[in-house]
Structure 1
Amino acid sequence: MDIGIGLPGHAPWTQGRALVDWARRAEERGFSTLSVSDRLVWTTPEPLITLAAAAGATSRIRLLTSVLLAPLRANHALFAKAVTTLDQLAGPGRLQLGLAPGLRDDDFTEGGVDYATRGRQFDRLLDRLAGVSRGEDPVGPRAATDGGIPLLFGGHSEAALRRIATRGTGWIAGDATVEGVREFTPGLAKAWADAGRPGAPRVVATVMFALGPDARRAVSAAIEPYYAFAGEEYASYGASAALTTPEQITTAVAGFAEIGVDELIFAGNDPDPAQVDLLADTIGL
């Protein structure tokens, strides 16, 4: 099982260069992937711009949006051009897109995008991205990655399963638990087989973490305000579910590996780049 690390974009970071330092350290310590999250109505950095900076600061580590709220990108041609440009800058095989339709209506209100039709807009965006990636569209450049940029879709809905089976390379599970992944994957495998896809879909799970003496404070400061929209109970649960001890980290690695997850990504909650080294030391990188 590959082990990746996620930038603390939803945490109270103040220096953008620290995120670039995270990227460099993540590659130096041997993490498989660097991920970045997405929100409009928050201080989360724009994911494609952030990964472009990471691409310039690194040469090997994979780059992932986890997850990008695709329907907010209402100009589909411009979005496709940004994605294929990033793929060219990063080099073949490095960029992966984790995509989802989005849940919070305030992101769509502030973005001037119709929340009710986001699913249809999502599919149209994917059509345009596919054409640009293959060089079959007047917009360019085409993707550097042969076969197009790998697409992972988030969510548990029938629409998510359809997109994975017909357009994607796999599923990305946010705030994942071993039990939740185990419950979802049989249906995922069936949808994949029913679509006539060979092999098996890639399964990527993401979990929240912070390490060190201030770990519990860091996750509270990052997660509780971020999930406050869902109510105090959910926000408190999100903070309590974050992994904050070496024992919890190693247990998670063992548990997700046992059920066949292809990659586990630990999303940071403390902006200090030293978190990269603490996690690498804990898992033996």
Structure 2
Amino acid sequence: MDIGIGLPGHARWSEGTTLMEWARRAEARGFSTLSVSDRLAWSTPEPLITLAAAAGATSRIRLLTSVLLAPLRANHALFAKAVTTLDQLAGPGRLQLGLAPGAREDDFLLSEVDYGTRGKQFDQLLDRLAAITASDGPVGPQPATPGGPALLFGGNSKATLRRIASHGTGWIAGDATVQDLQDFAPQIRQAWKTAGRAGSPRLVASVMYALGPDAEAAISDAIGSYYAFAGDEYAQYGISIAYTEPEQIIAAIAAFDQIGCDELIFMGNDPDPAQVDLLAEVIGL
């Protein structure tokens, strides 16, 4: 199982150079993937721009949106151009797009994008992206990765299963537990098989972490405020399942690996780049 790391973009960071130091350290320590989350109504950095900077600061590590709120990108051709440009900047096979319809209505209100039809808009975007990345048409550049970057889809709906089977390479689960994967993975594999897809869908899970003497305070501050929109109970649940001790992290890796997870990504909650090294030391990178 691959082990990736996520930028602490939803935490209280103040300088973009800090995130690029995370990227450089993540590659130097041997993490498989560098991911970045997405929100409009928050200080989270824009994912494609952030990964473009990370692409310039690194040369090997995979780059992942985890997850990008796809329907907010209402100009589908312009979105496809941004994706193919980033794929060119990163080089073949490095960029992966984790995509989801989004669950927070305020992100859509601020975008003046209709929340109620976001699923339909998402499907239209996917069709346009596929058409542009597969042809040498007027919208360029062409992607460095043949056919465009790999697509992973978030969510646990029937529409998610359909999108994985028709456009995707697999599933990405945020704030995931082992039980989440055990519950949904059989449905993904069945949808994949029914669609006649070769091979197996990729299963990626992301979890929250912070390490060191201030880990619990960092988790409470970052996650508590980030998920406050869903109420205190949900925020406290997010805090409770985050990892703050080396023993928890080692146990999580073993548990996710045992159930067939292909990649586990630890999302940062403390902006200090030393967090990259602390995690690397715990898992032996």
TM (norm. structure 1) is 0.99
Name the amino acid aligned to 1:33: T
- Three-state SS of the structure 1 residue aligned to 2:264 is strand
Residues 104-183 of structure 1 correspond to what in structure 2 (within 5 A)?
A: 104-183=104-183
Map 1:1-285 → 2, pairs under 5 A: 1-285=1-285
Paired AA for residue 118 in structure 1: R
Write out per-residue CA displacement over residues 64-121 of structure 1, whole angstroms, 9 at most, x where no aligned residue.
0000000000011111000000000000000000000000000000011000111111
> C-alpha separation between the residues in 2 aligned to 1:168 and 1:91?
20
Contact 2:38 2:46 in 1 (8 A): yes
Deviation at 1:135, TM superposition (A): 2.7
Counterpart amino acid of residue 68 in structure 2: L
Alpha-carbon deviation of 1:33? Answer: 0.2
* Offset, 1:137: 3.3
Backbone CA RMSD of aligned residues: 0.6
**For 1:180 and 1:170, how far apart are their aligned partners in 2?**
15
Secondary structure of the 1:139 match is coil
Deviation digits for residues 25-81 of structure 1 (CA, Å, limit 9, x no counterpart) = 000000000000000000000000000000000000000000000000001111100
Structure 1 residue 178: deviation in Å? 0.5
Report if the CA contact (8 A) 2:87-2:148 is conserved.
no
* 2: CA distance, partners of 1:124 / 1:136: 20
Query: C-alpha offsets along residues 182-225 of structure 1, whole Å, 9 cap, x if unaligned?
Result: 11111111000000001110000000000000000000110001
Structure 1 residues without counterparts, runs of 5 or longer:
none
For 1:92 and 1:136, locate their aligned partners in 2 and report how far apart those are by CA, in whole Å: 17
Hey, what's the Cα distance between the residues in 1 that align with 2:118 and 2:149? 22
In structure 2, C-alpha distance between the alignment counterparts of 1:147 and 1:127, rounded to whole Å: 13
- Where 1:87 maps in the other structure, the secondary structure is helix
Shift of 1:127: 1.1
Structure 1 position 136, deviation (Å): 4.2
SS in 2 for 1:42: coil
> What's the TM-score once normalised by structure 2's chain length?
0.99
For 1:162, the aligned partner's letter is R
Residues 132 and 141, structure 1, Cα contact 8 Å, conserved in 2: no
Unaligned runs of 5+ in 2: none
Q: 1:253 aligns to what SS in structure 2?
A: helix
Query: Partner of 2:43: helix, strand, or coil?
Result: coil
Q: Which amino acid aligns with 1:28?
A: A
Q: Distance in 2 between matches of 1:248 and 1:160?
A: 30
Say which SS state the counterpart of residue 234 (structure 1) adopts: helix
Aligned residues between the structures: 285
